[in-house]
Structure 1
Amino acid sequence: MTGPRCARRPGGREEGMALLTVLMLVGVMGALTVITLERMNRALAMTTNSRSAAQGHHYARGAALVAAERIETMLAELEGPLTLAGGWEEAPMTVPTAGGAITIRLSDASHCFNVNGLVTGSPGGATRMRPDAITQFAGLARGVGIGAQRAQQMAMSLVDYIDSDTYPQAGGAEDGAYSGYRAPNMPVAATGELMAVANWNAADYELLKPFLCALPTTDMQPINVNTLSEADAPLLGMLVPSGVSVAAARRLIAGRPAAGWGSQAEFWADARAIGAMPLARAQYQVDVTSNLFRADIEVEDGGFAVRESALIRLGGAAGEGGAHILRRSWSGAA
């Protein structure tokens, strides 16, 4: 006689399947919830970062105006030449914000050769080669160790790159030298564009880079000799076609009067004492004050950092007073 069989509870299999289904649904819903929350957090972080970046750039724009006003005030209070006395280049301005601070550092930006000055004329209009600027550029290139023939070739290629015509200079290069694109035949907006110029290479560009600027004008940039450092000696050498080495220019800068040179005449008197005979027009390209400044701005607010630089000129194209922001560039955020 067999023993009693174990009775199965009715619907047991169905209940197990239902429980498994519920567990699967709970798992899927949990995963979807995690994904949704992650996306919401990411969207919130992106929104917060965007707002912080926008706020940082607003602060930076305001800081550029503060810097321009500070420059106006500094020069208005100045009696005599602009020197580094008082440490205005070394002492940053700090402005507190609700979540951090804004730091502004000013520097003299007149120490450069304006590459757009290789041509004369109005930007956007007809321009032509400026011979004395080519002589200066060649002198600057030689001063940093570039050979005379190569320096001339680089200068002519750059003239053809920015002048308004399509006729190449001797040793220059117009559209035919560029594969896939044409020379813009207009002033460059930044010195980084020079890497696209025919007959230029990275090694020579790096040698010249500290001494070049690309200003929105074809005027030659006056250089304040009272704020030059010894590292800027090649800029003085370019104003004197022969007879003065970069080493001699360094000694001239190192021997600058404590109160600075009071006039162009005073500077050239000391320069001639070491054999410097400037180009005729170059005599007026040195100055004892500055009309071009740079403001490096760093905004740290709410854990977000924005860095910008502003190029500020004193006096407009028509000669009116006041500081004008020529260009602002964003150098990064973190």
Structure 2
Amino acid sequence: MTMAHVTMAHLPARERGAALLAVLAMVMLLSGFASLGLSRLRAASDRVVSSEARSEAQLLASTGTTAAVAIIQPLKARAGRRPDILQAPIPLPMGGGRVILRFSDAGACFNLNSLSVPQGRSGMASAVAQARPQDFARLLSAAGIPLLEADAIAKSTAARLSATGQLWADASEWVTVPGVTQAHWAAAGQLLCALPNREASAININSLTPEKAPLLVAMGLGPDEARRALAGRPREGWTSANDFWQQTSSAGVPESAGAQVVGTSSRWIALDLVAETPRARVRRTVLLDTVRSPARVVGSIWQAVEMAA
């Protein structure tokens, strides 16, 4: 018989009960500490596994991006006057997983940054094709914003961009301009972008949808001319910018910057990439500049990783 048993046996009944409760409380406390420790150990282990799975998926996505850069130029050449070929999803099996590539035209928009005049160059000739406030005002008016209001907003937007001298990273920054409301964004936001340069977007006239007709109005066409142009587009698309202007404008090529750079190919390409492994799924959106070969990644956004069940 142990000393603990002897001591417990010689205690009065009431004290023996209190001692037993103290022992039970100590056992429960130690059990709680053990459970907490195991829980933290499991959580730490899960974090390690999640981190590894996330890294695997992101590595696969990076490999997929490299593959996309390698195939975009020949894919554009194949697409020619058929933008739908460019937009078809491309599944690529890779290293026990797969990557799905989806390309789209990211230049079918009015580049707000083309309104930005670099500080110190006001009144001087620009080396690039830059849009003017009146071009932007025409677009806003075609999108349903009253003309006087559109003119004031266009001038305020150009003033804000030129005052800071910095390029916007996203078109949604437009709503920070005094006078611009959420209603204006709802009317024109889908027509706007913030490309990483000060040039008017070289719009591919073969990829424009009817909803994008205000982009042609910004170039100098009348609203009716713009709608008729898109409705009358040849089935296989226009062969050249000259072909387009000859068919759509009796006055010739407008003097706007957008009209001067319009074409039948897309410079800015958006890549929507999904990478899947047995343990995780990750999505990445990439902006490609394809003006030279190989194409260049100029912007990238990662989305949250989804873990496999």
Q: TM-score, normalising length from structure 1?
A: 0.78
- Runs (5+) with no aligned partner, structure 1: 1-8, 166-183
1:230 maps to amino acid: P
Who is 1:244 aligned against? 223
Matches of 2:284 and 2:10, distance apart in 1: 76
Higher helix share: 2
**Cα 1:190–1:281 shift into 2, 3 Å:** closer
Q: Which of the numbers 302, 318, 323 marks the counterpart of 2:295? A: 323
Matches of 2:62 and 2:21, distance apart in 1: 61
- Tell whether 2:287 aligns with 1:286: no
**Cα 1:288–1:232 shift into 2, 3 Å:** same
CA deviations over 1:246-270 (Å, ceiling 9, x no partner): xx53342232112211111110112
1:21 maps to amino acid: A
- CA shift, 1:56, in A, is 2.7
Matches of 1:201 and 1:153, distance apart in 2: 13
Who is 1:256 aligned against? 233
Aligned residues: 292
CA contact under 8 A between 1:113 and 1:212: conserved in structure 2?
A: yes
**Cα 1:38–1:251 shift into 2, 3 Å:** farther
**Cα 1:235–1:54 shift into 2, 3 Å:** same
State the superposition RMSD in angstroms.
Answer: 2.6
Secondary structure (helix, strand or coil) at the match of 1:88 reads helix
Matches within 5 A, 1:1-334: 10-11=10-11, 13=13, 15-76=16-77, 81-84=80-83, 87-89=85-87, 91-97=88-94, 100-121=97-118, 126-128=120-122, 132-163=131-162, 165=163, 184-240=164-220, 243-245=222-224, 248-272=225-249, 278-279=254-255, 281-315=257-291, 320-334=292-306
- Runs (5+) with no aligned partner, structure 2: 1-8
- CA shift, 1:82, in A, is 3.7
- CA shift, 1:282, in A, is 4.0
Matches of 1:149 and 1:331, distance apart in 2: 40
**Cα 1:25–1:195 shift into 2, 3 Å:** same
CA contact under 8 A between 1:82 and 1:290: conserved in structure 2?
A: no
CA contact under 8 A between 2:68 and 2:101: conserved in structure 1?
A: yes
CA contact under 8 A between 1:83 and 1:289: conserved in structure 2?
A: no
Who is 1:181 aligned against? none
- CA shift, 1:281, in A, is 4.2
Q: TM-score, normalising length from structure 2?
A: 0.84
Matches of 1:195 and 1:244, distance apart in 2: 25
- CA shift, 1:119, in A, is 2.6
Matches of 2:182 and 2:21, distance apart in 1: 67
Matches of 2:301 and 2:155, distance apart in 1: 29
Matches of 1:218 and 1:197, distance apart in 2: 18
Secondary structure (helix, strand or coil) at the match of 1:328 reads strand
Identity in percent? 27
